[in-house]
Amino acid sequence: MISKIVILDGYTDEPAGLGVPPYINTYPRLVAGAVWNRVKDADIKYWTIDDARRNFGSFIKQARESQLLVVIGGAEVPGKYLGGKPLSIQELETILLLTRDVNRILIGPAASHGFGGGGGNIAVETGKLRNLFTEIVRGDPEIYIDELMQYGFEKARPWLLREDYELADKAFRLGAKIVLQHPNYGRNLVVEIETYRGCSRWITGGCSFCIEPRHGRPLMRSLKGIIEEVEALYRLGVRHIRLGKQPDILAYMARDIGKQEFPRPDPEVIERLFQGIRNVAPGLITLHIDNVNPGTIVHYPEESIRILKTIVKYHTPGDVAALGIESFDEKVVNTNNLKVYPDEALEAIRLINRIGRERGWNGMPHLLPGINLIYGLPGESRNTYRMNLEYLTKIIREGLMVRRLNIRRVAVLENTPLWLRRDEVEYLLKKYRDLYRFHRVRVMQLFDKIMLKRILPPGTILYYLIAEKKSSSHTMARFPGSYPIAVKIKGEIPLWSILAVRVKGYSAKSVSGEPISLRNL
């Protein structure tokens, strides 16, 4: 019987779901919960890759003494992170070499879609990792772990996918206490909550680069399961929650999901979800969302307005509805089966602004759109850069606010339609490399700084910032939650202090401010 386990969290970043600190994704909780469901007194040690780097000798010793090393990996969405650095393929190879006498399994998106190397890269195929692990778990981790604990490696099936959330809900509740071992626990830890799995657009194939439609027909998690998990986390002291592990929060329990590309949202169900969370966790400091499909807003504006108003009613300010627009070039939209055309995307941005631009208690607007733009997709040309800039300029001229603009080069992942066109993508990435760099800097100067000034005018006071990083000359502080603005403060402030700050200046991606109050967390 396996009873001594080490989990190495190499961090995950997926189109639906974030697991880079201060976030913890679903995978560590599912693994720990599935183990404790079978062996209640199992000894599970949880390490983040950053902690393992800092205490490498101790980590390797503990891993060697374990019966099972579980590696979680897959930063499949290109990004830069203030809170942590994902596991690299080189680090993975070193760790596996030093633990070669231990059974090792790989779970997370890296197991099914390759080991992503960030934007502008082709993922390392899972086939090239096969000899490094005892097993690569392409299926759902709680099912594999459950079988492993009962039957051993020979009979546990790594390809099985859940058909319902019965076992997962139990694993989420039992595994909630693994958060106590996270280095950000009691500070700014944000727990990512899964509401459903899969994309409603799977019936048309979804976006060419995305892994979510590959899950097949969307599988919904019950209100009861979600609310009971939040309650378990809240009782453990978690105060920052994000409903982020789904491709479109508006489509949770939507009518005809799995039958229509854009199913009709159900505002009453989402009202019950948020109300239920608030009933069991009344003292949450952060309750945020993540992804919103702009196509849902375009097809069902009335239902979308009702849901967005519900979110504003129950959430905490500073929230971001990340819109997967990807491109304002119609040719790229058509070639890659993207969600909306340019003018439709603009309408979704306008609607979210109407509902969410009022300021809340922490000084931030309640709910603003975020925009993702991806470069290197088939169909791209110089005109793509011109069209993207043209629509960003329209947003500025209309007086709209966008909290976050994420410009990145596409990551090509295994088992996506784009994988079959990876040579074409590599060609485009090389062809427009210099143009991309120039364009990115220009957008940061033209768009990002204007948006920061619009969202946070000079003199705005921000409450409940947490000091996360410091150098000899300044300290960086942020809110816990979705895509928080980084605030740069002169001088050294004790880490994990809670600050109120008055905004004074701006750069492309952050603001500067002066503290007006400070207390320990």
pLDDT in tens, 84-107: 999 999 999 999 999 999 999 999
Helix (H) or strand (E) holding 9: strand 4-13
Architecture of domain 4-151: 3-Layer(aba) Sandwich (3.40)
Q: Does the domain spanning 189-455 belong to CATH 3.80.30.20?
A: yes
| Residue-wise pLDDT tens digits, 52-67 | 999 999 999 999 999 9
Has residue 24 got a pLDDT over 90?
A: yes
In the chain, ranges of CATH 2.40.50.140 domains: 461-520
What pLDDT does residue 508 have? 80
Strand pairing report for 286-289 and 190-194: unpaired
Where along the chain do the CATH 3.40.50 domains lie?
Answer: 4-151
> 513-517 — which CB contacts under 8 Å span 24+ positions?
513/462, 513/487, 513/488, 513/489, 514/489, 514/490, 515/489, 516/461
Structure tokens belonging to residue 455: 């969202």
Residue 254's pLDDT is what? 96
Structure tokens, 441? 């800097």
Each residue of 362-397: pLDDT tens digit?
999 999 999 999 999 999 999 999 999 999 999 999
- Region 293-299: mean pLDDT is 98
Give ranges for CATH 3.80.30.20 in the chain.
189-455
Average pLDDT over residues 422-446: 94
Residues 365, 366, 371: CA angle, nearest 5 degrees = 80
Res. 423 pLDDT band, cuts 50 70 90: very high
Per-residue pLDDT, 131: 87
pLDDT at position 520, please?
82
Question: Which pLDDT does position 86 carry in this prediction?
Answer: 94
pTM of the model: 0.96
Task: Taking residues 339-348, report their average pLDDT.
Answer: 98
Query: Does residue 61 contact residue 195 with C-beta atoms inside 8 Å?
Result: no
Task: Name the pairing type of β-strands 404-409 and 68-75.
Answer: unpaired
Specify whether the CB–CB gap between 218 and 197 falls below 8 A.
Answer: yes
What average pLDDT does the structure give for the chain?
95
Report whether pLDDT(78) > 70.
no
* Residue matched to tokens 């390809």: 159
The percentage of residues in the chain with a pLDDT greater than 90, rounded to a whole number, is 87
Predicted confidence at residue 127, as pLDDT, reads 79
**119 pLDDT tier (thresholds 50, 70, 90):** low
When pLDDT is averaged across residues 490-494 and rounded to a whole number, the result is 91
pLDDT at 120: 65
Question: Is residue 401 very low, low, confident or very high in pLDDT (cuts 50, 70, 90)?
Answer: very high
pLDDT in tens, 271-294: 999 999 999 999 999 999 999 999
Q: Hey, what CATH topology would domain 461-520 get? A: OB fold (Dihydrolipoamide Acetyltransferase, E2P) (2.40.50)
Longest dimension (CA), the chain: 64
Q: Is the pLDDT assigned to residue 116 strictly greater than 80? A: no
Q: For the sheet with 135-136, list strands across it.
A: 43-48, 4-13, 68-75, 104-107, 135-136
Beta-carbon contacts of 281 under 8 Å, excluding residues fewer than 6 positions away, are 230, 231, 233, 234, 241, 287
Does residue 82 or residue 385 have the better pLDDT? 385
Lowest mean pLDDT among 171-175, 275-279, 285-289, 419-423: 419-423
Of 448, 469, 459, nearest in space to 500 by CA: 459
Percentage of the chain lying above the pLDDT 70 cut: 98
pLDDT for the residue numbered 403: 95
